[in-house]
Chains A and B, each alone.
Chain A
Amino acid sequence: MKHFLGRIAIYLLLIGGSAIFLVPLLWMLSTALKPIDQTMSMPPTWLPYRLYQQQAGGLVEVKSLEAIESPSALIQLPDAGALTVIPLQRMQDGQLKSTDALGAEILVPVKIIKEIPATRENPWSRIAVVDVAADDHEGETHVAAKDWDVVPASTLIHKTSFRWDNFTKAVKAMKYFPMYLKNTLILCFLTIIGTVSSSALAAYGFARIPWRGRNKVFVIALATMMVPFPVVMVPIYSLFRTLGWIGTLKPLWVGSFCAAAFNVFLLRQFFMTIPKDLSDAARIDGCGEFRIFLQIILPLCKPALMVIGLFQFMASWNDFLGPLIYLTNQKDFTLALGLQFFQSQHGGTEWHYLMAASTLVVLPVIVLFFFTQKTFIEGISMTGIKG
């Protein structure tokens, strides 16, 4: 029995925990599919919806302008003839209590159009018919300003409706999104090629060629992993400046052709597990070292190479500091930098676009993960254990 309860507890913890971990992602997706007014509703709604009202000609889409939760009246002001909703406590003997310019209290005669018996439990809603023709950019549903009405909220019909067009609109709002994507993909492509080829070469040199002093050099290589990037940041920036590369993509990928110690280390571990006899046999057959590397060792190490390529993809896709330092022209930005730039320009209000754009940045990584799950998990485990 105790055992059984323990199992239940474990499942509850796992389910609760993974829910907590997933909620932010789901919330991002939910926000990305909402119109702007539903992003700013309290309590929050998870499923984006559209509101409809039953009218003579069938269902008509409407928008809720405000909720009314206390007894009120729809009145018409005397001169302008404007309609407005006023809480009942501001009415006195069918007249509106108001103040003049000096703060003295006065009564204004008004015409009551409709009594609104709204309460907190039974709220009413001020609604307007959505102007479908004007519903294009800004992600706002446009309503005709004058044509509004007040109805009990319970008579409105909710229908779940995802605003998929938020994605196209967010892409448009980001202005250079296709450029960002292109730059990011170029960088991912070049850095993967650079990292995989150069690390494989160097790891082979460390693992399978018994040259003198290689262990000492390898220790140096491992030691370089300790150097924090800020220490070398300024001289490298200065170097690229001298080369005239600031404002180009070059500083972001050229370095990947110079095997990074961490990848060399991972691959070396892998290379060392391959029996020595294999290369010896090839050598007897007259194979050169490079051919052994290319035709015998590399094909055996595909999983490890995949891991390194995958990690490099993630690193390039996610990199923020590098693009921030080296890129100056908006057209050269990567997705990460472009997203941050968009946020710094539009942050604070257009959360639906920001979340749509974030989704577009997150989604490829997640899709990639589902296709390469095994490699990913094995790779991550490998980095931890062998370290």
Chain B
Amino acid sequence: MTRGERKTLWLGLAFISPWIIGFLVFTLYPLAASIYYSFCDYDVISKPVWIGALNYKDMVTDSVFWKSLGNTFYFAALSLPLSLIVALLIAVLLNNPVVGRPAFRTFFFLPSLVPQVAIAMIWLWIFNGKFGLLNYALKWFGLDGPNWLADENWTKPSLVLTSLWGVGGSVVIYLAALQDVSRELYESAEIDGASAFTKLWHITIPMISPVIYFNLIMGIIGALQVFSGPYIMFGGGGPNRSALFYAVYLYENAFSYFQMGYACAMAWVLFLIILFLTWAATSSTRKHVYYAGE
């Protein structure tokens, strides 16, 4: 390394030093400590005591753990495709040459700005069994709405509905992507007499597939970690723990039962699940994701 190169190196490191410090203090050390704690009995108050793989073994037989994992997957499996479809549909609608597009875009986008806590409050009120707006609206259609928050079969769907309300961010992203799709493709398709659906399926979706893929990955990561909504709306997990999500149970283990070691072990399992799903999503969509210039 020449003197100049060394100088550049130090200069570069100096500039990224905030990140280096953050990486060491808030990522690398916690990762290492977290692995260690996951093999310990640790309650923060006294020193961690090594107990081998007991935390992981206990997890296998902990029925609440499985329930929370099941709930989380159920939620993710329902909310991910639904929000993808809803967001894409709205974006496609907005991508038409309509008058007042910015206003419509704003209307769809606004809810995604609302803080999680306020979202939970608003929907608690809308789902209210007695005076709730939703069941009143359902009555118009002759439907007798369920007791959303007290019926264990409906707690997760109610959270899915809540999450759908916040798809505005994805709508904006998809809309931006749609506007980058060249008009010529559509025009030539129209000459061939393609229907709207064919155009959507054969042009639009493939052309914006990288964005869909990106949203999918972020969605998986986010959905598996949902915390605030279920925690605020259902506290300890709702009727028969039907709304006890993985992150909520993890939080409870850490800060209600002070089984920090167990919480760390759970966190690592979550990490592995996320890594696996990301890998699975990547390899299964690789063939279908279109990257310009490839």
Contact = CB atoms under 8 A, between A and B. Distances in A.
Contacts of A347: 124
Interface string B167-185: 0111011111100100000
A212 B22 contact: no
B221 interface: yes
A161 B80 CA distance: 42
Interface stretch (A9-17, A69-77, A81-89, A102-110): A9-17
Contact of B270 (A228, A264, A321): A228
B51 to A, nearest CB: 15
Contacts of A221: 19, 23
A43 B136 contact: yes
Nearest to A359: B118
B173 A380 contact: yes
B169 A380 contact: yes
Interface in B92-144: 93-94, 96, 98, 104-111, 113-118, 120-126, 128, 130-131, 133, 136
B22 A362 contact: no
A237 B264 CA distance: 12
A238 B258 CA distance: 12
B291 interface: no
Interface stretch (A113-121, A254-262, A273-281): A254-262
Contacts, number: 282
A280 to B, nearest CB: 14
Interface in A1-34: 6-7, 10-11, 13-14, 17-18, 21-25, 27-28, 31
B126 A27 contact: yes
Contact of B111 (A25, A339, A351, A383): A25
A27 B122 contact: yes
B60 to A, nearest CB: 19
Interface size class of B (residues with CB under 8 A): 35 or more
A377 B19 CA distance: 27
Interface string A169-199: 0000000000000000000000000000011
Contacts of A258: 18-19, 21-23, 25-26
A41 to B, nearest CB: 8
A75 to B, nearest CB: 31
Given A206-B16, A212-B5, A258-B26, A365 B165 contact: no
A325 interface: yes
Interface stretch (B31-39, B71-79, B152-160, B197-205): B31-39
A380 B105 CA distance: 13
Contacts of B5: 211-212
Interface residues of A, number: 95
A284 interface: no
B240 interface: no
A205 B21 CA distance: 14
15 contacts: A10-B93, A14-B93, A22-B107, A28-B121, A209-B11, A227-B271, A228-B221, A234-B264, A239-B30, A257-B18, A259-B18, A343-B121, A343-B124, A351-B128, A385-B211
Given A25-B110, A365-B114, 20 more contacts: A17-B93, A27-B133, A28-B125, A42-B131, A202-B18, A205-B19, A211-B12, A226-B221, A230-B247, A230-B266, A232-B26, A232-B31, A234-B264, A234-B267, A314-B113, A336-B117, A339-B117, A355-B121, A358-B121, A366-B110
